Structure 1
Amino acid sequence: MRVLVVDDEPLSRRGVCLRLARHADIAWVRECGDGESALALLRDTPVDVAFLDVRMPGISGFDLLDRLPPASRPLAVMLTAYDQYALRAFEAAAVDYLLKPIDDGRFEEALARVRMRLGGAPVVDAAQAAPVRCFTARIGHRDVVVRVDDVEWIEASGDYVGLHVGAKTHLVRQTMQQIEQALDGRRFVRIHRSTIVRLDRVAELEALSNRDCMVRLHDGTLVRASRSYVDGLRAALGL
């Protein structure tokens, strides 16, 4: 894919470019330090995806998208150190929204979303999808059926995903992304790149100084919600 990175901070641009360099499907990467030069490049050069800083002198990332005809806009991943722009990013139809300093796991998730969009994968509304009813965990020579209704929270565990049911943890050999896509988005929400919780098990949220949040479940379990996911969690809870 052809990628444009637009950010007025050279170190920030370099960080994105270094992450992109790890992927064999990146055909080329161009850099721009301001919105004006990016706008000129985009008018003459086909670009598949643009990583756009939200706040720049002159033309902002959102202004840049607004000035391009819809048919010629690249897919956009918004970059910012401020989390109040999440709704604006959604309204601009951005593929994803990454907070600085960028988390490697979240960056990989954003790139996966870009690949799905470029590959023409259908976008399915979580409320309309048919969620799974159970998972199968392998224990020795036995296959244990774990009902989704019994799962309280889920965490990444190496090459596996741990399904927490009361005091037990069942390991399933799937990725967090696969698990997230299989679940009902009205009942389960991702709160960290390594954690998913069932909404009706959430008892309390405690804001932290770095804009993360501690989530206490009804059984007293404490899990951390990273700042990239806190807004989504609060919205899902109706807060």
Structure 2
Amino acid sequence: MLSVLIVDDEKLARDRISFLLKDETEINICGESNNGLQAIKDIQHYKPDLVFLDVQMPEKNGFEVLQEIDPDEMPTIIFVTAYDKYALDAFEVCAIDYLLKPFDDERFFRALRKAQESTIKTANTQDLEKLIARTISGNNYYDRISIKKDGRIYFVETSEIVLIKASGKYVSLHTNSETHMLRKAISLVEQKLNPKKFMRIHRSTIININKIREMQHWHKGEYVLLMSNEEKVFSSSNYKENIQKLF
């Protein structure tokens, strides 16, 4: 059963999606939100598998909503909006699809099926990873990470990774010259990285300690770090104990 949250400030838009889902036996609508702040609360409370998310809303827009959600608890996202100018931004946060209003029933169900297939694959992958984690040694860390792209499998040596950022249900692996996308929760990646070499400094950021070029105090236990690939990343006060280990 797939739990679904509908987020839109227009009641007619919420009602339309609800109507289209009413005959879906494998769908449970867990709630509806009519503004960004309520959406954050409902996502954190209901922990839905899928969210139909409007972009322009009162309080916070759809992208600001996602910034407040823990990457490890990020649901599958289908953006629903009347504006096509947000499409690129939507896919940069790894939304599974982007429905442009007005959309017809066929387009809606195509997006829904894509989300259902994606959620099933993610659940199966996570179950397998948990099984592997229970059966292998706890210090069996990654030496390299496999990346599937364009029908091929590429391997990235962990020693080449500068930092890792969470983006929805994906993480991006940043080296000095490239960025690779991996469909995996950041917490699962963190478990398989050597803690002597990698450190979580933010709920959405892991860094390679050996790739730090410079760091400066920023604000109340927070730091800005310049990495070897010239990217700047910010630590969170929630991870200040990790940062203090660098001193």
TM-score scaled by length of structure 2: 0.49
Change (3 A) 1:75 1:35: same
Within a 5 Å distance, the mapping from 1:99-114 to structure 2 comes to 99-114=100-115
1:56 paired to 2:54: no
Residue-by-residue CA offset, 1:126-151 (whole Å, 9 max, x unaligned): x327xxxxxxxxxxxxxxxxxxxxxx
Contact 1:49 1:77 survives alignment (8 Å): yes
Q: Which amino acid aligns with 2:98?
A: Y
Contact 2:30 2:48 survives alignment (8 Å): no
Q: Distance in 1 between matches of 2:5 and 2:55?
A: 14
Change (3 A) 1:21 1:124: farther
Q: Distance in 2 between matches of 1:73 and 1:56?
A: 19
Runs of 4+ in 1 over 2 A off after TM superposition: 121-125
Within a 5 Å distance, the mapping from 1:1-239 to structure 2 comes to 1-120=2-121, 125=149, 127-128=150-151
Q: Secondary structure at the match of 1:31?
A: strand
Structure 2 residues without counterparts, runs of 5 or longer = 126-146, 153-247
Deviation at 1:58, TM superposition (A): 1.5
Greater relative CO, 1 or 2 (CA 8 Å, sep 6+): 2
Structure 1 residues without counterparts, runs of 5 or longer = 130-239
Deviation at 1:120, TM superposition (A): 0.8
Q: RMSD of the alignment, in Å? A: 1.9
Q: What is aligned with 2:224?
A: none
Q: Distance in 2 between matches of 1:82 and 1:124?
A: 32
Contact 2:31 2:42 survives alignment (8 Å): no
Contact 2:54 2:79 survives alignment (8 Å): yes
Q: Distance in 2 between matches of 1:109 and 1:124?
A: 24
Deviation at 1:124, TM superposition (A): 6.8
Q: Secondary structure at the match of 1:27?
A: strand
Q: Distance in 2 between matches of 1:14 and 1:26?
A: 15
* Larger fraction in helix: 2
Change (3 A) 1:102 1:124: farther
Q: Distance in 2 between matches of 1:84 and 1:54?
A: 11
Q: When the two structures are aligned, how many residues end up with a matched partner?
A: 128
Q: Secondary structure at the match of 2:85?
A: helix
Q: Distance in 2 between matches of 1:52 and 1:27?
A: 16
Q: Distance in 1 between matches of 2:20 and 2:148?
A: 28
Q: Distance in 2 between matches of 1:27 and 1:44?
A: 15
Q: Secondary structure at the match of 2:27?
A: coil
Q: Secondary structure at the match of 2:95?
A: coil
TM-score scaled by length of structure 1: 0.51
Deviation at 1:44, TM superposition (A): 1.9
Deviation at 1:103, TM superposition (A): 1.6
Q: Distance in 2 between matches of 1:124 and 1:13?
A: 36
Contact 1:95 1:113 survives alignment (8 Å): yes
Moved more, 34-43 or 75-84: 34-43
Q: Distance in 1 between matches of 2:110 and 2:19?
A: 16
